[in-house]
Amino acid sequence: MIDLKDKVCIVTGASRGIGKAIALRLAREGSRVELVARSRAALAELARGQPTLTAHVCDVTVPAEVETTVATILASRGRVDVLVNNAGIGVFGPLESTSYEDFRRVLEVNAGGTFLFAKAVLPAMKMQAAGDIINMSSVVGSKGYPEQTAYGASKHAVLGFTKALAAEVHDQGVRVRSICPGGVDTDMAGQARPDLDRSSLIRPEDVAEAVVYLLTAPPTAVVDNLNLRRRGNAPWF
């Protein structure tokens, strides 16, 4: 098993939901967790009293902010071992009621933020000849759902980006993987599927456990992607 103690881990979208659960789980492993989100207040609340958590206010769609955040972390820590690209938004509804601006914004955050942070950390990981990038896709990254055209397109993009980057850098010591959860009990899930019983959904902590599994599993057998489905759903989505 790989030890995560003192590993420098960046988690985007860390102020709530899945990102918050991942950050707290990595902190329990002894990692140095660099929290990235837009909400200064939420980040400050999460980091309060947690010496291994450091907050960085950053919009993942702004290249200069992403580059400055990664540079600050490298200046302070000297390395980046793990990047979890989790920041995401969703717009849901029929295509006819989805504006192009909404479509573009969802792609910009979900796929563009993943692109920008991966690009920013990659030089350091290549220099280290080691690093892990985990991108949060979704069941909608491989399966179509009605009234989720923008969100589905963005998560397909994340999965395609992950596959291409993994092939590009695997011989340089950098592992690029993805997680595709089904419905997770977050505010976004409530917005996208108000018809679902929230008690039946995957817990954010379950996704955090999947992240730790990917990071700590023996490196001789690499898991490229994890599909996580709700227990009550049919297998093999």
- pLDDT given at position 235: 87
- Whether residue 1 lies inside any domain: the answer is no
- Whether residue 149 lies inside any domain: the answer is yes
Which of 61, 50, 55 shows the shortest CA–CA distance to 25?
A: 50
Indicate the number of domains in the chain.
Answer: 1
- Domain ranges, residue 108: 8-228
- Whether residue 102 lies inside any domain: the answer is yes
CA 119 to chain centre: 15
Q: Does the active-site annotation cover 151?
A: yes
- Whether residue 237 lies inside any domain: the answer is no
- Whether residue 133 lies inside any domain: the answer is yes
Q: Which residue type occupies 113?
A: G
- Whether residue 235 lies inside any domain: the answer is no
Torsion-angle region of 6 (φ positive above 0: left; ψ -120 to 50: alpha; else: beta): left
Q: Per the residue annotation, which of 100, 145, 151, 213 is the catalytic one?
A: 151
- Whether residue 183 lies inside any domain: the answer is yes
| Cβ(33)–Cβ(39) below 8 Å | no
- Whether residue 220 lies inside any domain: the answer is yes
Give the single-character DSSP code of 63: H
Distance CA 12, CA 162 (A): 16
Distance from the first to the final alpha carbon of the chain: 29
For the domain that residue 207 is a member of, what is the CATH number? Answer: 3.40.50.720
Q: What is the pLDDT along the chain (237 residues), one digit of tens a residue?
A: 789 999 999 999 999 999 999 999 999 999 999 999 999 999 999 999 999 999 999 999 999 999 999 999 999 999 999 999 999 999 999 999 999 999 999 999 999 999 999 999 999 999 999 999 999 999 999 999 999 999 999 999 999 999 999 999 999 999 999 999 998 988 787 776 777 777 779 999 999 999 999 999 988 889 999 999 988 888 887
